[in-house]
Amino acid sequence: MIQSMTGYGKATAETVSRKVIVEIKSLNSKAMDISTRIIPSYRDKELDIRSRITAALERGKVDFMLYIDTATASGTQTINAAAFNNYLQQIESIAAATGYGVPDDIISTILRMPEVVSINQQEEVTDEEWQAVSEAVDRAIAALVEYRKAEGVALEKKFREKISNISELLKSVEPYEQERVARIKERIRTTMQNTVGSNYDENRFEQEMIFYIEKLDISEEKQRLTNHLGYFIKTLEEGHGQGKKLGFIAQEMGREINTLGSKSNQAEMQNIVVRMKDELEQIKEQVLNVM
């Protein structure tokens, strides 16, 4: 089963004096990119936490937060005057620019803004507390992985649908492909007769026609595209960790579809190619989210 790189997980740890909240979310990225926001008393655990995230998630842009639920925390609260004034100035500036009045409850509103109120939290973390928080970290990571798996199921369903659509469109090319040979031949013959009359070598004409039609033949492109479609599904079924490989296959599919388009000198065929490109673009957009 493939996994998405998009996910979210959350867990809490209850201690005697406070509730610790762990949140983690991830988006797509070519490599592992971890950003953390951890309260000072747990900073010494950051390397351990990063190691666990890397082992479990492997790839993605990850935001990790570990913080205290202020409603349950013990200790004195401190207002960050600089942050308070900064928020106040921004709100007053926006109010003046838009014509809206400053809210009556402006003070309580600003006090709820991030980093305005901080709690003088205990710096020393007991082994029992870290044990509880450590388990919460693991639960949050596990929840994110489950989220990724669920997203992966949806992605696989979407990919199969798009690959099936391209395959059906490719089959619909065949009638037009056979018809256009006769059209091309008749059009060139008519042009020859209008230009030089009937005074031309029929055998030479047939030889040149064969050469010309061979240049427009799309048999190889159709076969290669069919192979790529099958290989995409086979790779999809290999499961976890195939995102980059699926991306490479999608690129190869694009090359064959583009060549089909360049050789399709018939409006009906070109319309089919455009629809194939649309289906492929949707695959390319979503394959970036695959692990």
* pLDDT, tens digit (0-9, with 9 covering 90-100), for 206-247: 666 666 666 777 888 999 999 999 999 999 998 778 899 999
Give the SS3 label for residue 150.
Answer: helix
Q: What is the dihedral of CA 205, 208, 209, 213, to 10 degrees?
A: 180
Q: What percent of the chain has pLDDT over 70?
A: 84
pLDDT classification of 290: cutoffs 50, 70, 90: very high
Phi, psi of 81 (to 5 degrees): -60, -40
At 144-180, the pLDDT tens digits run 999 999 999 999 999 999 999 999 999 998 888 777 7
Strands (E), the chain: 7-14, 19-27, 32-38, 60-68, 77-79, 117-119
pLDDT score of 31 more than 70: yes
Contacts of residue 253, Cβ cutoff 8 Å, sequence gap at least 6: 166, 225, 228, 229, 232, 280, 283
Cβ–Cβ < 8 Å for 288, 247 = yes
Q: What is the pTM of this model?
A: 0.71
Which tokens belong to 248?
Answer: 């490479």
Least confident of 66-70, 134-138, 228-232: 66-70
Q: What is the DSSP letter of 75?
A: S
Strands (E), 69-209: 77-79, 117-119
Instruction: Compute CA distances 129 → 23, 74, 132, 141, whole Å.
Output: 17, 14, 5, 19
pLDDT score of 270 more than 70: yes
